[in-house]
Every structure is written in C-alpha cells, then in structure tokens.
Amino acid sequence: MVHDEAYMRRCLDLAALGAGTVSPNPMVGAVIVCDGRIIGEGYTSPYGGPHAEVNAVQDAMRVLGEELAKQLFKRSTIYVSLEPCAHHGNTPPCADMLVRHRFARVVIGCLDPFAKVNGQGLQKLQASGMVTEVGVLESECRFMNRRFFTRITQQRPYVILKWAETNNGMFAPVEPGQAWISNKASKQLVHKWRSEEDAVLVGTATALLDNPSLTVRLWKGRNPKRVLIDRDLVVPADAALYDEAAETIVFNAIKTDWHAKLKLIALENFPLYLPQNILYQLYLMDVQSIIIEGGVKTLQQFIHAGIWDEARVFVSPTTWTNGIASPVLNQDPASSIAVGSDTLSFYFNT
C-alpha cells in the first residue's frame, strides 16, 4: 500500500503538468511499474490528444522497444489518477487499450463522474479478469480534478475568487485611481494562475479604472478567455481587454453580437441571478474554470450568491488610513503561505 501511494503521488505530479492545456478534459497522470521499476509514464496531452494511459504505454515502448514492453505489461501494474475512459471521444477508450495489453493490475485513484464513464471503465477492466484497486489517494486525486468534477456535477465552471488587500482590510482607494497592493512576486503568480484556468472575469469598474489586459505577460503560457460584465457597454472599444491577444466575452443588457474574438452576450433581466446566468452560459461554452479578479462589487455578488469554490487572497504588510473595504468570507483560511512580503491565504467553500 505504501508503494501504491508513492506511485499514485507520481501520477498526480504528472497530471499537474497538464494544467491549462487539457480542459475541458480532466488532468490525469499514469505510471507503469514492473518488478518495482517505472518503465513508462505519461500525462494527458493538450485537448484532443492522447490520454495519460496511452502516453505512458507509448513511453514504455519508446524506451524498451515495442515487443519487450508488451511482454512486460503482462506482469506490470499501471497506476492512473482517474478511472480510464470507456467511450469513444476524440480518442478511443483507454480501458479497451489496457485490456488489450493485458496489464496484470490497475490501480485507480478515483472514479470518473462523467456519464459516459462513471464506473464503466472499471467494469471493463474487471470483466477482462484484471486485478483492480480503486481509491488510492482518492481525496488528493479528486482535488486535482476539482474543476472537472464541478463542471460535470454542477453544470458550471469551478470559481476561484482572487484579490489583494492591505493589512487592515482595504481593497482599493476611495478616490478613483489605480494603487498596487501586492508585490511583484504576487503579481507574477497571478499571471501563472491565469495560464492554468480557462477564463478570468472582471466588472465594468475594474475595466474602466485599471484598464487590465488580463493576459499572462509575466508568465509563459496561453492567455485565458477574458470575461467582462458590462451592463450598458460603457467600456470603450480601445480598452486593453478588446485587443486580439485573447477571446473576450462581454455579458451585457443591450445586444448579442459575435465577431472574431469578441462575443457580446445579452442577458435578459440582467441583474436577476447574474452570477448563475453568467456561469451557465460559460458552462455551455466549455469553460471549466474561471478566476474572478474584481472589483469588490463583482466579487461580492458571487460571495453573496454562494457560488464560489476557492478564494486566493493576498494580504500586504501595507496599511492605509482609509479605502474601500475588501470582500468578507466569514471563515478562516484553509492554509497560508508567504509570497515575498505578502501573505497568500487559501479558502474553500465547503
């Protein structure tokens, strides 16, 4: 069991390498072990490409040669952080491939709630006579794919709230204007986060005051979709959000118009259930995760609606004499770390 957990942790390390590229698929890692030695490993390719199990098998064949690898598979254990798929999508079923190679044992971190899998992959393996075990590091494996599970089970993206506040709980100056609170390391970390999620959202006030581009300029990776809440379409056409760096989706009360990378989506009864309606529209667009970056009103709308999953809050050592108060979560952080001079706290809506 100790060895099983060690190999499953390696699966999770591999799975994390797919962050920002596999959505709306889950992040999965796979490790093949024969006689106490790893002979192949892999993780899910960018969306549309081979899954983790296929990449692990191909890795073993590349290193050992196809014939020797196939012989060793018959006495090998393959570890996979999520149940192998059982249906034809962009790729053939991984469960069928494992059966074809006649692995001696399959260890699965957690089952897949997707309707076309949901135990069916496990059933295929067991029906073939393979020894199977499910639930090794299950909570860690489920946490790895919390975005995927939220989208499948709740029909909405996984929602991450993010903001920075002063040491005495101030979010922004009282007078309109831009004032940085967090340090350079924290800012770079935010750009890394953007590269890992499908979308990032701000409200009208943030777009007008800060003129953010919401890209990953300080990190290597792909830009997320940019989402703007702009009821009356007052953000000017020359705003940084409207450049060609990434797709921009604007939820408003006036018109629907899709052109190139700009999508205007009009919502009826605009203020009514606004967070819910926005998230459902994004779900329909295969957005699996989103970071809500501000401002206070926008963040507070999602908090009041109870529709958030995770919050990441930077606290600077800076103190202001006055300012706009930060959102309030009314709970203690799950954990905190230092990011330079800032303290970063993580909260979960459980």
End-to-end CA distance of the chain: 29
Whether 197 sits among the annotated catalytic residues: the reply is no
Rounded distance between C-alpha atoms, residue 107 and residue 178, angstroms: 52
Element (H, E) at 210: helix 204-210
Q: 337 in helix, strand or coil?
A: strand
Catalytic residue among 41, 53, 165, 310: 53
Extract the tokens encoding 148.
Answer: 């995927």
Q: Are 336 and 313 in contact (CB under 8 A)?
A: no
Burial 186-201 (b: 16+ CB within 10 A, else e): bbbbbbebbbbbbbbb
How long a stretch of residues is the chain?
350
Rounded distance between C-alpha atoms, residue 82 and residue 136, angstroms: 10
Rounded distance between C-alpha atoms, residue 105 and residue 111, angstroms: 16
Rounded distance between C-alpha atoms, residue 124 and residue 181, angstroms: 54
Instruction: List residues with catalytic annotation.
Output: 53
